[in-house]
Amino acid sequence: MEIVILEEKTVSQGDISLDCFEKLGTLRRYPLTPQDKVVEYIGDAEAAICNKTVFTREIMAKCPKLRYIGLCATGYNNIDLDAANEFGITVCNVPEYSKRAVAQQVFSYVLHFASRTADYNNDVHDGGWIRSDTFSYFSIPTFELAGLTMGIIGFGSIGSTSARIANAFGMNVIAATRTPKSAENVEFTSIEQVFKRSDFISIHCPLTDATRELVNLDRLRLCKPSAYIINTARGPVVNEKDLAYALNNDIIAGAGVDVVSTEPMLADNPLLGAKNCIITPHVAWAPLQTRERLVKIAFENLSGFINGRPQNTVN
Give the active site residues: 234, 263, 282
Q: Are 190 and 176 in contact (CB under 8 A)?
A: yes
Q: Are 76 and 300 in contact (CB under 8 A)?
A: no
Q: Are 271 and 257 in contact (CB under 8 A)?
A: yes
Q: Which helix (H) or strand (E) holds 120?
A: helix 117-125
| Residue 56 vs residues 52, 59, 84, 86, 124: alpha-carbon distances, Å | 12, 5, 9, 12, 53
Closest listed residue to residue 233, CA positions, set 134, 138, 105, 133: 105
CA pair distance 212, 230, nearest whole angstrom: 16
Tell me the helices (H) and strands (E) count for the chain, helix number first. Answer: 11, 12
Single-letter residue type at 181 = K
